[in-house]
Amino acid sequence: MSQVERMRLGVLISGSGTNLQAIIDASKDHRLEADVVVAISNQEAAYGLERARRAGVAAVWIDRTAYDTMSAYNRAILAVLQEHEVDLVIMAGYMRLLGSEVLDAYPNHVLNIHPSLLPSFAGANGIREAFEYGVRVTGVTVHLANERFDEGAIIAQRPVIVEPGDTLEMLEAKIHAVEHELYPQAIELFAQRKVSTDGTHIRIDEA
Ligand code: GRF
């Protein structure tokens, strides 16, 4: 049993939700001493919402078209996070920027995962662009989110070797497998209160 209070996680998704699933599974297996309490999607058809329902996790679609501005939309996201008493916000394939409405409410407590070694190959096609560039090593990054895509203090990174003969599909599979391991481990650093900040720098106590 963890000696600290279990963190409540809110996961933002747009798509298939394999990272959400990995986080739910790690929580159930006690590899991660935190609980996913709500999954929020900007896409009604995101399969991740179904994964959440099957795991007994609240699944909420927030329809962008129901809000006049991005600011109002982000306030709606914040309201759902607060309603579920979320401590840590996890972006897992959420394909939009998160606004200051949410970021300011969760200082240093919004995480994102990106399928490359940032700052290389930021953007929506990081795996393909690294593959087409011909890199021999790429990987996965978990970082704090800010108001720009794929920026913010790095919490964890893991390399993935591109072997001769690897196809794009093979590389994608290797990277996703690493994501599914690394994201729960990075979240566990927060769950164990091993991440702190002096206001400028992030300190990670991995001892
Ligand atoms: C992952 O590759 C993640 O790194 C990127 O979007 C993808 C989401 O996949 N930001 P899934 O929805 O978790 O399956």
Q: Is 84 designated active site?
A: no
- pLDDT confidence band for 200 (50 / 70 / 90): confident
- The alpha carbon of 93 and the centre of ligand 1 are apart by a number of angstroms equal to 4
The topology under which CATH files domain 7-112+143-154+176-197 is Rossmann fold (3.40.50)
Residue ranges per domain, the chain? 7-112+143-154+176-197
Which atom, in ligand 1's list, is nearest to the CA of 140?
A: 4
Q: What pLDDT is stored for residue 2 in this prediction?
A: 47
- Determine whether the shortest distance from the Cβ of 77 to ligand 1 is under 6 A: no
Asked if 106 and 94 count as a contact pair (C-beta separation under 8 A), the reply is no
What are the pLDDT digits (tens) for 136-180?
999 999 999 999 888 999 999 999 999 999 999 999 999 999 999
Q: Above 70 in pLDDT, residue 74?
A: yes
Q: Give me 119's structure tokens.
A: 């700052």
Which atom, in ligand 1's list, is nearest to the CA of 21?
A: 13
**Could you give the percent of the chain with pLDDT greater than 70?**
98
Beta strand pairing call for 34-41 and 58-61: parallel
Distance of CA 21 to CAs 9, 154, 159, Å?
Answer: 13, 23, 22
Distance of CA 164 to CAs 38, 78, 128, 160, Å?
Answer: 41, 45, 16, 13
Residue whose Cα lies nearest atom 3 of ligand 1: it is 93
Of residues 205 and 180, the one with the higher pLDDT is 180
- pLDDT confidence band for 3 (50 / 70 / 90): low
Q: 0.85 cut: is pTM over it?
A: yes
Asked if 37 and 84 count as a contact pair (C-beta separation under 8 A), the reply is yes
- Determine whether the shortest distance from the Cβ of 14 to ligand 1 is under 6 A: no
